[in-house]
Structures are given as C-alpha cells and as structure tokens.
A and B are shown apart, each in its own frame.
Chain A
Amino acid sequence: MTTLTLRRRLWLSRIDYLFLIPGLLIFGAFILWPMLASFYYSTLDWTGFGENAKFVGLKNFTDLLHDEFFYAAFRRSFSFMLMTVPIQMLLALVLAIILNNKLLKLSTFFRAMIFLPVVTPVAVIGIIMVLLLSPFNGPINGLLLDTGLVTRVVDFLGSPTIVLWTLAVIYVWKWTGITLIYWLAALQTVPDELYEAAKLDGVKSWQVMVYMVMPIIAPFAGVIALISAINALNVFPLIQSTTQGGPFFSSEVMEVYIFRTAFAPASGQFPRLGYASAAGVIFGLSIIALTIVQAILMRRIRRKEPTHG
C-alpha cells in the first residue's frame, strides 16, 4: 500500500476544498475578521470615528476592571441566562413530551403556534410588548386591575426590581419554540419499539418517561443547554427594543453595555470603540470558557455512564 503525500492528497480532494471556499470567505469576513479586529481595537483609545486612534496596550482592560457598570452588566448577563435557560428547557421539554404524542389531535397546530414567536422579528415583539405592558393604557395592566389582582398599575418595564424578570418572561415566551424543536428531535431518537414493549409490559406512562425516555435523551440536554445559554447571553435586540438597558442600567446586559460605550454614549460622553471592544473581548472569552467547561462536564458525565451490551 502506497502512502500519499499531503500535497497529493490535497490535489486529489481539490474539488471538495473548492466547495469550502465560499463558506471560508464568509466565515473569514463576518466571524474571523471581526474577532481579530476586536482584539486590535481593544488596544486603542479610539472613538471609532476619528483618525486619532492611540495605542494604549492593555489600558482598556485595566480600566474595565475598575468599571462598576461593566461588572454589573457582566453579572446581569449571566443572571439573565440563569433566569431563562432552566425554565425554557423545562417548559420546552414538557411541551415536547406532550406534543410528541402522535395520537394527540392538532399537535402540528400547537407546535406551529408555539413556534410562531420564534419567527417573529424581535424588534416587533419588543414594540408590541411595550404596548401590552404599558402601565397607563396596556391591556395587561387593565386586566390585572379589573380582576383585582393588583390595586395599582405595575410598571413592568420601568421598575428596576422587576424589569429583568419581565424581560426574562418575554424571552422565554419568544424562544421556547426553538428549544421545543430541539427536544422533539431528541425524542425522535427513542425507538418506537421501546414504547410498544413498555406498553405490553404494562409500564406506566410516567415510568416510561423517567426510566426509559429520559436516559436516552439526557445526552442531548447538554447540547440544548449550551445552545440555549449562548442564546440567552445574546439578547441585545430584545432589550434595545424595550428598555435600552434602563431604568438606570437595571436591564443593561453586556451587549447593551458594549453598544452604549461603543455607539450610544450618554449626553456629554463620546463613543469609546476601543474600550467597548475590550469589554467585548472579555465577554467573548467568558462565553468560550463557558462552552469549554460545559464540554468537559459533558465528557465526564458520558464517561460515568454505564456501557450497554
């Protein structure tokens, strides 16, 4: 058997590599280049508009370490993730189990209804939610008052104590449909024979779920959690279209913080693209770290699983 040289192997697969080029170009232009540019910009004292960029090394990073609003936004981003992902996963799982029942009438209709918010633009949802939740003429407050559940209007998006929870509920409502699809895909991997065998053996439905289905779909949970967690850290459009991070920064997550410092500073301030890039780099690295930790945990869990056969 002859061993092909690397060059020869590349040549033989040239058509395959040719097909990769468009994808690589797009990846380079829209992923790789912005990432590298962010690293570079993070070393500059630069508004992003003028020609007066000045190299400052790691000063932006050291300044960030003394910025309480950066810490607050960073903490808020991960709080938001913890507020949404478990509820979203659990809710989607329950709905997926119900809707996976082929005997359930209108299951396709319900799936479509639950998925509808996913395909609705976030900005549209943001505007509609501002109107629905309005404390002075919003129907939700009207309903709460008319039914006597509250005696004074609730400022869902203007109260610093509940604004993040309000946004979390909107977020979960908006994105549960996509998690539902993931769970449904996972449930499709459970063989029909298993259900039939369980039925013949007289196993109860909850036992089928807990002892048979769950162990099979459990490995998918890690992947779904990872995807959901990363999505929950990317909530800029929802927050920008509803609260812009307010009131007084109480819903300012990292992306809004980065946007504010880079492009929309308060009156009397001017943009700091270098500083915002440094914040973006730290946030990006923390997400990568989260991904790595999750991958390591998944691997350990799999190793502990008993082998079948």
Chain B
Amino acid sequence: MSNTFKGTPSRRAFLKMSAAAGLASFAGPLAALDVPTVAGLPAANGPLHWLDSGGQKGEFIKATLPEFGKVNGFDVVYDGLPWNEIGTILPLGIRNGSAPDTFNLPQGMEPSVALAEGWIQPYDDYFADIAAFKAAYPAGSFVEGVNVFGGKTYGFPFSTERRFNNALLFDRAKLAEAGYDKIGPELALTYDEMRDAAKKITENSGGRSFGFIIGGNQLGRWGDSVTMLAQRAGAKVGNSALIQGLDFATGEYAFGSDEYVAAVELLLAMRDDGSVFPGVLTINAPQAREFITQGAAGMIIQGPWNVPIWEATAPQFDFGVSPGPVPTADQQNNPVYVAQLPNTGNMMWLNKAAKNPHQAAAYFAWLGSLDGQVAYANVASCADPAIFPETIALADLSERAVQMLNMAERLVRIAPNPMIANPDLSKVAAAYVDPTPNLSQAIQGLFAGQLTDVRKTLTGVADARNKALDDAIAVAKAAGANVSREDFAFAAWDSSRDFTNDDYAAL
C-alpha cells in the first residue's frame, strides 16, 4: 500500500480554492464598500501596477484597489507573489524599467539600500497635507530610519508588526489523538512534546499523514521559524533582516547559541523520526499551508494570516493556534520580538520611476484613513492587523482570530531597533553583504543532510555574519558615517517590555 498522502488537491483545485478564499472572505465585509472619489487626481499614465506578497492583505487590495481605480478613472494591475518571487522579479523590473508603481521590498532588503540604489521616492509631495495624514496614525508608525529618511516619507504603513509571525498551527483532532488536547493559545508544547506529538500523528495515521510540515523550498521559512523557536527558548535576538539573530545584549550574532542549536536539533529530530512531511524541500509556504488542511500533516509553523484563509477556504478543517513551542514548560511566557510597530514587510514603497504616483498616493490616503483602516481590519482580521488600534474594537473577528491577536498582545514585544537608534546605520545596511550560506540556507543544508555539525555550522554562519557586519561598519565609517558595533547593543534593555520612543530618546 502506498504511504503517500492521496488527498492532496490538484494544482487547478488549489488555484480554485485560493480564488475562493478571497471571494469568501470579502463577501460580507466588503459588500457595502464605499471608496471615495478623489478630486483633482491627474490623468493616469496607463494602469496602476501594485505588487505585494499576497495573502489576506493582498486579497483586500485586490478587491478594493480596482474599485478605487474605477471610481477615480484608472485601471489597476495587481500582482500578489511569494516573497522569493518578489526577490527575483522586482530587481529585474527595476533594472528594465518595468517594475510596478508601488511594491513590497524583497525580504531582507533594508529600505535604506533601496533608497541608496534609487528604487524608491518619497510620497509627501503627492499629498495635500502629509503632516495631517501622518498625525492621525498611532505613535511610532512613522520612524526615521524605518520608513522616513531625511524627513521625507517613503514607506506607507497600514498594518502592525505586533503579531505572532511564526505561531504553531495544528490539526486539533490529530493533536488530541496524539494525547495533546490541552494545547492552545495559553499553553504551548514543549520541544519534547512537539517531537512526540509529531511521531504519534505519523504513527496514528499509518503513514498517510505526517507530524510536521514546512514550506522548505521557501528559504526564509527556515531562518524565521528557527529564530522564533530560539526567541521562545529565551534568546533575546532580533527577528529579521540585518538584525535577525542579533543578540541585543552583546550586539553579536547568536546563531551558535544553545537556543538556536536546540531549535535546529528539534527539526532534525523530527526529520530523523520520519515525522516530517516528505518533500518539504520542494514545496513553498503556500503549498504547505494548503496541504495541512487536507490532512497531510498535523502541525505547521506559520503566521496568523492562515487563520482567515483557512476559515474561508477550508471550513471543515478544525485547527487550533498556539505560540511556538518552548524547550521546557516553565518557559511558556517567553516573549518573541519584533523590530518596530509598523509592519515593514507589508509596507508599500513608491517606485522612483512610478508612472502613476498620484494614483498610488490617493489610495494610500484612503487606506491610511480610519474608514480605510476599518474596511481593511474587517478583512485582514488577525492576518495583518490594521495599524490603527481603534479598528480592532470595530472589526468582526472569529474566535481564533481573537486568540491570535491576544497571543500577540501577550507575547510579542517591540525590541530595540539599531536602525532607529542611529539612522546612520542605514549606511552600514547599504554596505552590508550577507555571507553565503546565510542562516536559512545553512538550516536547509542541515535538514537536507549536506551539512552535519549543527553547532559548528551555525557558529560558522554567526562568525561570517559578524565579520560581514564589521566590514560594513568599516566601509560606512570610511564614508563618513558615525557608526560603531556598540550601536547594535542594548544591554540595559528590559526585554519584558516594549522598547519605546522614550527609550530611544534616552539613549
């Protein structure tokens, strides 16, 4: 008998379900959408091209932007692509002049680098009163060094970073059958329990289903998942891009630490147990997300954006949400860290060579208003929570979405961000060249079996990254930047609370 999972959807079925996800999730909230007509908008130069990473917020944009364009006299071309494709397509588009008018920056690319490379332009001048627009936002939404450079506004924020980006989502029936029916938003698995649960799920299914799945072809999933596990294990490290794995106490990369090593060893142990879905190295995150709803696996580490998608497309899938696992039960309340309040991954940037900057800015103005944010929050749910906190009270959210948001409020902390503390570090980011292999590549190599010694490999990545950062600092200093390695250390930070604007002021 074949032990492959037979209930997986065909590619066509997958596409149909994805399309249905969008439609189903908006049928109610957007039925009465009333987008404004903007007076004095110049004639469009062809359609407005918008590129983002898709997901739930993408579905909102895909549904509302054409409507906005329709009442304001311009056409829209929307593309929602996986991050790895944005990383490939956008640089090519910038190079050959075909990049969209507005886009998400590739993962790991500092905005300062995009600015230095001439990819983006400020949008202040396309607003009648940019100061009033920004004043309506919660404090900390526009930050010099994050989305403001030299006093000009470049990144358009509309969602908050305070979300549990790498939560454990699980098939409740499978986990209950494995003996873990108490797991939920208030109680996470320990590492040993997760391994045991994965093994039992695989055994209980007779090999037709597997304990754990991950979109391992999407490289960033490895680094992001392991960094979350390390943070839950107690590592006080940055979560993404240049500060991913950066120990805030020392300013050094901590990939070789016990927390990181234990996290990777957990993944390898599940692999060795035969509990990991076969073929994880050839599927991306959206595929993994789809397969688990079909019963192919019991657990996945992914973001809160799965909640509204699954509730819309796979109502039969009875799933639960939980924080990432912890090494021991007494570490249940260990927080995870994000770099700032606005979600920079979702942030939209205006192409320096945009053909329709006025049209893009007009839509920004609506989405950045309370009306736009309420409409957005109704759809985005816990996936990409709206940045206006008052919208949460007005939004119509499912029980699991509320659990996700509460989990984020309880466990996600705003960490210090060196880029905010010293905007000159943007010059370091521009000069920084990440070594190969990076964290994600190294973990993939370990999982694939090409690399063997976990601690040695991760320490090697940390050493290479520390050297690369030192080199970048030297280049930036030579160019006149006032930077040092000490700018990356925040030894006095009390990691149990947010790092606020006051903390920055006190530095």
CB neighbours (8 Å) of A271 from chain B are: 91
Chain A 132-169 residues near chain B, CB threshold 8 A: 134-138, 141-142, 145-146, 152-153, 155, 157-160
- Bound-state CA distance A47–B216 (Å) is 28
B297 to chain A, nearest CB (A): 10
A248 and B5 contacting across the interface, CB-CB below 8 Å: no
B92 and A263 contacting across the interface, CB-CB below 8 Å: yes
- Bound-state CA distance A265–B444 (Å) is 16
A129 to chain B, nearest CB (A): 11
Task: Digitize B221-261: 1 where CB-to-A-CB distance is under 8 Å, 0 elsewhere.
Answer: 00100000000000000000110100000000000000000
B2 and A146 contacting across the interface, CB-CB below 8 Å: yes
A205 at interface, CB cutoff 8 A: no
Q: Which of B57-65, B279-287, B325-333, B354-362 faces chain A?
A: B279-287
A268 and B117 contacting across the interface, CB-CB below 8 Å: no
B440 and A269 contacting across the interface, CB-CB below 8 Å: no
B432 to chain A, nearest CB (A): 8
B219 and A266 contacting across the interface, CB-CB below 8 Å: yes
CB neighbours (8 Å) of A160 from chain B are: 448-450
A263 and B91 contacting across the interface, CB-CB below 8 Å: yes
* Residue on B nearest A147 in the bound complex, by CB: B2
B438 and A266 contacting across the interface, CB-CB below 8 Å: yes
- Bound-state CA distance A153–B450 (Å) is 19
B278 and A136 contacting across the interface, CB-CB below 8 Å: yes
B279 and A135 contacting across the interface, CB-CB below 8 Å: yes
B118 at interface, CB cutoff 8 A: yes
CB neighbours (8 Å) of A146 from chain B are: 1-2
B116 and A50 contacting across the interface, CB-CB below 8 Å: yes
Q: Say whether, besides A248-B445, A250-B450, A49 and B91 are in contact (CB < 8 Å).
A: yes
A51 to chain B, nearest CB (A): 6
CB neighbours (8 Å) of B441 from chain A are: 248-249, 266
A246 at interface, CB cutoff 8 A: yes
Picked from B4, B94, B117, B433, the residue with its CB within 8 Å of the CB of A136 is B4
Q: Which of B31-39, B101-109, B153-161 faces chain A?
A: B101-109
B116 to chain A, nearest CB (A): 7
Q: Say whether, besides A155-B281, A266-B436, A248 and B451 are in contact (CB < 8 Å).
A: yes
Picked from A52, A157, A248, A269, the residue with its CB within 8 Å of the CB of B282 is A157
- Bound-state CA distance A145–B106 (Å) is 40
From DSSP, what is the main secondary structure of chain B's interface residues? loop
CB neighbours (8 Å) of B280 from chain A are: 158
User: Interface size on A (CB < 8 Å)?
Assistant: 41
* Residue on B nearest A272 in the bound complex, by CB: B433
CB neighbours (8 Å) of A137 from chain B are: 4-6, 8
Chain B interface category by residue count: 35 or more
* Residue on A nearest B87 in the bound complex, by CB: A264
B448 and A142 contacting across the interface, CB-CB below 8 Å: no
B117 and A49 contacting across the interface, CB-CB below 8 Å: yes
A269 and B108 contacting across the interface, CB-CB below 8 Å: yes
Q: Say whether, besides A136-B279, A267-B108, A153 and B4 are in contact (CB < 8 Å).
A: yes
B278 and A135 contacting across the interface, CB-CB below 8 Å: yes
Q: Say whether, besides A49-B95, A266-B434, A268-B241, A136 and B2 are in contact (CB < 8 Å).
A: no
* Residue on A nearest B449 in the bound complex, by CB: A160
Task: Digitize B38-64: 1 where CB-to-A-CB distance is under 8 Å, 0 elsewhere.
Answer: 000000000000000000000000000
CB neighbours (8 Å) of A249 from chain B are: 437, 441, 445
- Bound-state CA distance A10–B8 (Å) is 69
B88 and A263 contacting across the interface, CB-CB below 8 Å: yes
B296 and A246 contacting across the interface, CB-CB below 8 Å: no
* Residue on A nearest B444 in the bound complex, by CB: A248
B291 at interface, CB cutoff 8 A: yes
Picked from A50, A152, A267, the residue with its CB within 8 Å of the CB of B3 is A152
B152 to chain A, nearest CB (A): 18
B220 at interface, CB cutoff 8 A: yes
Q: Say whether, besides A246-B444, A247-B444, A247-B448, A267 and B5 are in contact (CB < 8 Å).
A: no
- Bound-state CA distance A47–B282 (Å) is 29
B281 and A247 contacting across the interface, CB-CB below 8 Å: yes
A131 at interface, CB cutoff 8 A: yes
B212 at interface, CB cutoff 8 A: no
B4 and A141 contacting across the interface, CB-CB below 8 Å: yes
* Residue on B nearest A134 in the bound complex, by CB: B279
- Bound-state CA distance A170–B470 (Å) is 45
CB neighbours (8 Å) of B4 from chain A are: 135-138, 141-142, 145, 153
Picked from A52, A247, A264, the residue with its CB within 8 Å of the CB of B116 is A52
CB neighbours (8 Å) of B282 from chain A are: 130, 134-135, 155, 157-158, 243, 247
A238 to chain B, nearest CB (A): 15
CB neighbours (8 Å) of B164 from chain A are: none
Chain B 412-461 residues near chain A, CB threshold 8 A: 432-434, 436-438, 440-441, 444-445, 448-451
- Bound-state CA distance A146–B1 (Å) is 6
A134 to chain B, nearest CB (A): 6
- Bound-state CA distance A264–B89 (Å) is 8
Identify the interface centre among A131, A158, A246, A268: most chain B CB within 10 Å of its CB.
Answer: A268
A153 and B3 contacting across the interface, CB-CB below 8 Å: yes
B217 at interface, CB cutoff 8 A: yes
- Bound-state CA distance A131–B113 (Å) is 38
A87 to chain B, nearest CB (A): 24
CB neighbours (8 Å) of A117 from chain B are: none
Q: Say whether, besides A136-B279, A153-B4, A266-B441, A131 and B11 are in contact (CB < 8 Å).
A: yes
B337 at interface, CB cutoff 8 A: no
CB neighbours (8 Å) of A152 from chain B are: 3, 274, 278
CB neighbours (8 Å) of B11 from chain A are: 131
- Bound-state CA distance A157–B216 (Å) is 13
- Bound-state CA distance A246–B274 (Å) is 21
In the complex, besides A142-B4, A153-B279, A249-B437, 10 extra interface pairs with C-beta distance below 8 angstroms are A48-B91, A130-B282, A136-B296, A137-B5, A152-B3, A155-B282, A246-B281, A248-B437, A268-B432, A269-B436
The 8 closest A-B pairs by CB, nearest first: A267-B108, A268-B434, A158-B281, A248-B445, A135-B279, A50-B117, A268-B108, A145-B2
Q: List 25 A-B contacts (CB under 8 A).
A: A47-B117, A49-B95, A49-B118, A52-B117, A130-B282, A135-B278, A137-B4, A137-B5, A137-B6, A141-B2, A153-B3, A158-B216, A160-B450, A246-B281, A247-B282, A247-B448, A248-B444, A250-B450, A263-B91, A266-B219, A266-B438, A266-B440, A267-B220, A267-B223, A268-B438
B-side residues, CB < 8 A to A, are 1-6, 8, 11, 83, 87-88, 91-92, 94-95, 106-109, 113, 116-119, 216-217, 219-220, 223, 241-242, 244, 274, 277-282, 291, 296, 432-434, 436-438, 440-441, 444-445, 448-451
